[in-house]
Every structure is written in C-alpha cells, then in structure tokens.
Structure 1
Amino acid sequence: MSRLINKGILLIVVLSSIVIITISVYNYAKNPKDSSSLIVASLAIIASVISGYGAQKVVEYQEDKEKPYPYPIADLQSRYNLAQLTVKNYGPSPAYNISIKWDKPLVSTKGEIIEFKGSSQSEIPVLPPNEHISKPIDTATALYSMEDLNFTGTIKFEDGGGKKYNNLFHISFEQYRKTLLHEKEELKMYYQLQKIPKGLDSISKELNKIRKKIDNNSSPRGRKIRRRSKIH
C-alpha cells in the first residue's frame, strides 16, 4: 500500500472522529451518557491515529535510508584532461534498470550523444551500492569550447522489490571552467608514465634492427659480401 493511500485513510478516520465528536457534543443535552461514550471513543481513535502516523513516519524514514540513490555527476578530476559523465549509487542497496532522460542531450564536440548503452530495457541494468560507472565525454579542452555546460533531466531506476523511482537531477561542468582541474600533479605523472611502455617498444624494435644488421655482417655470407666489395 502506498504512502499516499495510508495517509488518506488516516485523514479520513480523523475527520470521521471529529464529525462524531461534534455531533455528540450537539446531542449531549439530550443523551449525555451515550454522547459521553462516543466522545471518549472518538478521542481514543484520534489518539490511536496520531500514534499510528508517528509509527508510519518511522517506517518511511527507515525505507528511505535503505533505498538506492543513483545520481549523475560531472567528473573532470578522475582522469587527466578527460571529462566524464559518472553515475554513482549513493544508497545502501543496489539500483536496477537505471535510465537517464535528458531535457537537453549531452553531446560531445564530435556530435556523439553521451549515453550508457546497456540492455534493451535500460542503460545500466544494475549498480551496486557505493559503486559508479563512467562514460568519457571529451577532452577537457574540447569540452570547454562549448558555451552551455548545464544539463538537467530525470534519472529513473528500481529497487530490489521492483519499486520504481523518478528523480530530477542537475549537473554542471561550469564550476570547472577557468579553474585548476587538479590540485596535484599525480594524474599528469601517471598519464606520462603510461607512455613509457610504448617508448620501450620503439626502442626494442630499433635494437632488433641493429642486431639483425650485426648478425648479417657477422655471418659467412656477410663476410664474403664485404670481401667482394673491397676487391671491387
């Protein structure tokens, strides 16, 4: 039963009790004994409703604490010179069938619409608590060639019981415009370190070429060719 229906039932019970009390007070002079009993019973019902409403709020609060809460964020600090769209589940339980509906599509400078491609029914089938998933958008330099970097929309998802949620969101990359993206240089250092294996491969290829030349010159055939060249 939904929260709205529960609150509606409680409201109807309270209003009915108030009506009974009003009628009983009006008829008290004619039948004081019965009227007194109705008033006491109605007041007891109202007290029970108030107590029940408090218990319901506690249950709702507990449910809210346990529900998943995926939310999209703008990320320019996790990767060097790379802007990403990240969806993180801030809730304590898994979120299922996550999809994002943009008011204005998030598009890269290459014209690519940024979206999470999952199953045919949802973009992200499941996202565990405190986990995140990221999608590259563009380099930071290219991203800030765009004028408007504010985006809004609706993120839809389900909890483990199949209950559906629709939450509005607002993300912006504007706060990073003309600012230092990284307080330290570790990310740039790691980025440069990633180039070392490629450089080592190039050096290895050149050494192999040199080794082959030396081997060819050291072979009997190579010596004969050198002798002939000297004679001529």
Structure 2
Amino acid sequence: MKSWTLASAGNGLALVLALLSLCTMAYFGYQFYLEPKPDIANVFTGAGAVSAASISALVAFRSVAIVEESQRPYPYPYIDIKSRYGLSLIKIKNAGGSAAHRVYLEWTDGPPSLRQGPNSEAQPLQFAGDETQAIAVLMPGEEQATMLGVHHWVADRIKANPRELRGQVVYQDVKGDTCRLPFFIDTSFYQWALADETELLKAHNAMTHVPDVLTQMSKSLEQISKSLKS
C-alpha cells in the first residue's frame, strides 16, 4: 500500500474542490436560468473561478507526484545474458532515484532451481532469497548479480520446468518503511536466442560455404539444361 504524500493529499483535495465547484456551477446555473439575479450570477462566477483554480492545482500536484515517484527506489530483478560471454546472470538493479535498503526476493512458488551446480545439477536459487541474505543497500543505478550457469544449461532448465518467475521484491526506503514491489522475470528470449555461443561460429562457417554450393548448383543446372536439349 502506498503511503500518503503531500502530492497525493493535495491531489485529492483539489479533486474534491473541483467536483464541488462543478456541482455548484451546475446548480446555480440552473437557478439563474429560472430566475436571473445578480447574486446568483456572482455565485456562479465564483464557483467557476474555484473550478479553474482546482484544475490548475490538479495539474501542479500531478507534476509533483511524478517527481516524487521518480525519486523512490525501484529495485527489480532480471536475467542478463550479455555481460558475461556464454553465461547467464540474474541481477537486481535499482532503477529508482534513491537508495534501497535490505533488498531481497520473495518467490511466489519458492526459489526456482535455476543455478548450475559443480556437476551441472540444478540447485535452488538463493541469491537474496530471504531477509538473512538481503542486499544491504542498492544505490541508484547500482546492481548486484550472481551466476546462473551457461546459456544452454539455463535454457534447458527453463524448457524442462516452464514455471513463471514471479514474486515480490521486498526492500526498505530511506524512511525505513518496508515496501513490496511485484516482479516478473521474462525468459521468453531463451526460445529464440542462441543457446550456445558456438552456434554463431558454426553459422558463420556455414555462410562461407554458400558460394561453393551455389557454384555446384549452377553446374548441375547447366548439365540438366544440356541433357534436355540433346
């Protein structure tokens, strides 16, 4: 649950004033239609001024809310396959504007078995797995990582156990309040990405043989053409 802030409180107050002023304008506008009097017109005009001011306040408080939101910590986990050649890493990065303290993950169905052991056995992922293993602090833009395993092993594990990697990131903000952020780690890229770094070399080697194959095809077509003419 989000805590109340100056922007949210002001936004709520401005919204209430805007609704009340609009209702007042509608009521006294109808009264002026039935019985045009200067006093009714003055009330209608005053309600219009309050309505305009309330709408301006809504825009201003919305801008403040956006700034406040950008300054909150935003730790989020993801799988990185580019930082280390041939290896898959899981990282938690703070993409927010302030420090996140005591960061750890609460998996929906328990820690997934996505860590490659010494003998290529599947081990539970204990990286920041509970409060005792929490990351002490993540500054804005900072990240912590641990290795899952080689690409093809992780890809095979995900295909063998196609569970969704969901849960909550638990952390404390600068005020010491405990926050929970739902997360979902996407693994769909393993379906189309190169599972083994040697596949790229194999593909490059196969491309070098394309001219020879085309030459052989051309010779075969010439022989077929001569056979048809004779």
| C-alpha contact (below 8 Å) 1:72/1:86 kept by paired residues | yes
Please, which runs of 5 or more residues in structure 2 have no aligned partner? Answer: 115-120, 202-230
Evaluate the alpha carbon distance shift between residue 182 and residue 110 of structure 1 in structure 2; reply closer, same or farther with a 3 A threshold.
Answer: closer
Equivalent in the alignment of 2:210: none
Equivalent in the alignment of 2:182: 168
Q: Which SS does the other structure have where 1:7 is aligned?
A: helix
Paired residue type of 1:116: A
Give the stretch that moved more between structures: 39-48 or 153-162: 153-162
| C-alpha contact (below 8 Å) 1:76/1:83 kept by paired residues | yes
Q: 1:138 aligns with which of 139, 149, 152?
A: 149
Identity, in percent, stands at 22
Please list the CA deviations of residues 74-121 of structure 1 after superposition, one character each: whole Å capped at 9, or x if unmatched: 12333344332111112232122323222343223433233315754x
Equivalent in the alignment of 1:106: 112
Please list the CA deviations of residues 23-81 of structure 1 after superposition, one character each: whole Å capped at 9, or x if unmatched: 32233354712211211111111011011111112112222332222211112333344
Partner Cα distance (1:128, 1:40) in 2: 51
Equivalent in the alignment of 1:36: 41
Please list the CA deviations of residues 205-225 of structure 1 after superposition, one character each: whole Å capped at 9, or x if unmatched: xxxxxxxxxxxxxxxxxxxxx
| C-alpha contact (below 8 Å) 2:28/2:43 kept by paired residues | yes
CA RMSD of aligned residues (A): 3.1
Please, which runs of 5 or more residues in structure 1 have no aligned partner? Answer: 186-232
Paired residue type of 1:50: I
Partner Cα distance (2:164, 2:130) in 1: 25
Q: 1:21 aligns with which of 25, 30, 44?
A: 25
Flag the structure with larger Rg: 1
| C-alpha contact (below 8 Å) 1:149/1:173 kept by paired residues | no
Q: Which SS does the other structure have where 1:138 is aligned?
A: strand
Equivalent in the alignment of 1:55: 60
Aligned residues: 184
Paired residue type of 2:141: N
Partner Cα distance (1:168, 1:71) in 2: 9
Aligned-pair CA distance for 1:10? 2.3
Q: Does 1:8 align with 2:12?
A: yes
| C-alpha contact (below 8 Å) 2:90/2:145 kept by paired residues | yes
Give the stretch that moved more between structures: 5-14 or 69-78: 5-14
TM-score (norm 1): 0.65
Equivalent in the alignment of 2:78: 73
Evaluate the alpha carbon distance shift between residue 115 and residue 180 of structure 1 in structure 2; reply closer, same or farther with a 3 A threshold.
Answer: closer
Q: Does 1:179 align with 2:191?
A: no
Please list the CA deviations of residues 148-197 of structure 1 after superposition, one character each: whole Å capped at 9, or x if unmatched: 27522222334323455443322234423560665999xxxxxxxxxxxx
| C-alpha contact (below 8 Å) 1:119/1:125 kept by paired residues | no
| C-alpha contact (below 8 Å) 1:118/1:124 kept by paired residues | no
Partner Cα distance (2:72, 2:56) in 1: 25
